[in-house]
Chain A
Amino acid sequence: MEDAIVHLVQTSPSASSAYRDCLRVCHANDHIVLMHDAVYAGQGPSGAAMNLYALRDEVAERGLIERMHASVKLIDYSELVELCAQHRHTQSWF
């Protein structure tokens, strides 16, 4: 049975193709975590069905708390750790 993958996107959606490349290979039951400058991608919908998260402190330091799309769940590092613990593969995009 296919296991859902946790995708950690770590670079800006406008400065890097990482987020776009990730969306091309993601499955609907995968999890995407926006980290570092990738949190800028959370201002709009992903256009795809998978679970979308962003690291809260990194969203806040960029002044984006009020600008994040409703579909993005804000999480902390403890929740990130548990997400990675629950899934066999974590794939980083940068």
Chain B
Amino acid sequence: MSSLLMICRKAPYGTSYAREAIDIALAASAFDLKVAMLFTDDGVYQLLRHQDTTASGSKNVESLLSSLPLYDVGPLLVNQQSLDSRHLSQKDLSMPVQLCQPSEISQLCANYDRVLTI
């Protein structure tokens, strides 16, 4: 089975990249790829809990991410340094995640057939 690592670097809502990365992950999973997602840099903000889009009308990224395990997308990995530099911790996140260090990301990429960064 082929594998894909989606690397998400963008904050949600300011651009559509967060939603589009999730769309690609779901499409790849539908094609039977094993898909994992790495949230790094501003991408960690996608996992922040309590995203309230009732007033803005935007598509809720927290809700979209919560559906990923239903489609066998995972693990969800988070660059710990990105959390730390944004004064966040795992308890601030809406999903269970695996933490990784910046020095581990290259090896992580080597473990996947395809790597896509959005």
Q: Are B41 and A89 closer than 8 Å at their CB atoms?
A: no
Known: A24-B81, A91-B7, A91-B117. A17 touches B41 (CB 8 A): yes
Rounded to whole angstroms, the CA-CA distance of A17 and B42 in the bound complex is 10
Q: Mark interface residues in A27-55 (1 if CB within 8 Å of B CB, else 0).
A: 10010000000000000000000000000
By the criterion of a CB under 8 Å from any partner CB, how many residues of chain B are at the interface?
A: 17
For the complex formed, measure the closest distance between the CB of A87 and the CB atoms of chain B, giving whole angstroms.
Answer: 11
Which residue of B79, B103, B109 contacts A89 across the interface (Cβ within 8 Å)? B109
- Tell me the minimal C-beta distance from B81 to chain A in angstroms: 7
B41 neighbours in A (Cβ, 8 Å): 17, 21
In this assembly, does A92 line the interface, its C-beta being within 8 Å of a C-beta of chain B? yes
4 smallest beta-carbon distances between A and B, as pairs:
A25-B105, A27-B106, A21-B41, A89-B115
Tell me the A residues contacting B by CB distance below 8 Å: 2-3, 5, 17, 21, 24-27, 30, 88-89, 91-93
5 contacting pairs across A/B (C-beta < 8 A): A2-B110, A5-B106, A26-B106, A89-B109, A91-B109
